[in-house]
Amino acid sequence: MIGRLNHVAIAVPDLARAMVQYRAALGAEVGPPQDLPEHGVTVVFITLPNTKIELLHPLGAGSPIAGFLEKNPGGGIHHICYEVEDLAAARTHLQAEGARVLGDGRPKIGAHGKPVLFLHPKDFNGCLIELEEI
């Protein structure tokens, strides 16, 4: 059901510093910041030959990333994103297997302009999983 790894998301306390670090120290291709108000985050994508890294920074006080950074002030891996061909079919299958979809269960539009869902980390060995329809 799941396809390729789309990205690994890292919450960062200082977005500008993280962008410089990836560009200067690692020589990575760093994209521009994008505000995603519906998700409460600002994101920056770092393009790698085989996948992407998504830097996440809080956008507003109610951001879920703000809570994550309170618990992890230095930042850290927040989630991993897998591609799926049919998000509705994936949701139905996962719920039948006992997995919990976060929020109201309806897809939202993610940073790539495609529908996404998040799965409860307690159902996947402590890892928050994002599914993105390709």
130 catalytic per annotation: yes
Long-range (24+ apart) CB contacts under 8 A made by 43-49 are 43/111, 44/15, 44/18, 44/19, 45/7, 45/111, 46/22
Q: Which of 54, 130, 132, 133 is catalytic?
A: 130
DSSP-derived secondary structure letter, 121: G
User: Hey, is 64 helix, strand or coil?
Assistant: helix
**Residues forming the active site:** 130
